[in-house]
Amino acid sequence: MSPDELREYCLSFSEAHETFPFGPENSVFKVEGKIFAMSRLAADPLRVSLKCDPALVEQLREAYAAVLPGYHLNKRHWNTVLVDGSLADEMLRDMVEDSYDLVVSKLPPARRRALGWRGES
């Protein structure tokens, strides 16, 4: 997945926005003001930090060398994923979607409905 494809995918979710609170080189993707992905898109190798269910963070880190503890983030809730080709693009897309869903799932029910979110209630 290229940096442009990663940006496009993050912005494909309902009401997702790209912001730059940590400087112009750091893309921060938010929904309802809450972060679900962060990446320095010009970095080599490309990395993206994503929220993750605490029950899965360690499993993913043990199973995949490209999944690391969240860089400068709460390691219980965040993973940093190396986008180096060792993970299938589909898996990376699933991880981004899971991160978005985790954030949206914590929003009030009216906001979830307004976003058209179809996750668990």
Answer yes or no: are the C-beta atoms of 119 and 101 closer than 8 Å.
yes
- pTM for this one? 0.92
Each domain of the chain, given as residue ranges in start order, spans: 3-51+83-114
User: Running DSSP on this structure, what letter comes out for residue 58?
Assistant: H
Q: What is the pLDDT of residues 52-66, one digit of tens each?
A: 999 999 999 999 999
CATH class of 3-51+83-114: alpha beta
Q: What is the pLDDT of residues 64-118, one digit of tens each?
A: 999 999 888 888 899 999 999 999 999 999 999 999 999 999 999 989 988 888 7
pLDDT of residue 116: 86
pLDDT for the residue 50: 97
Helix (H, G, I), strand (E, B) or coil at 77: coil
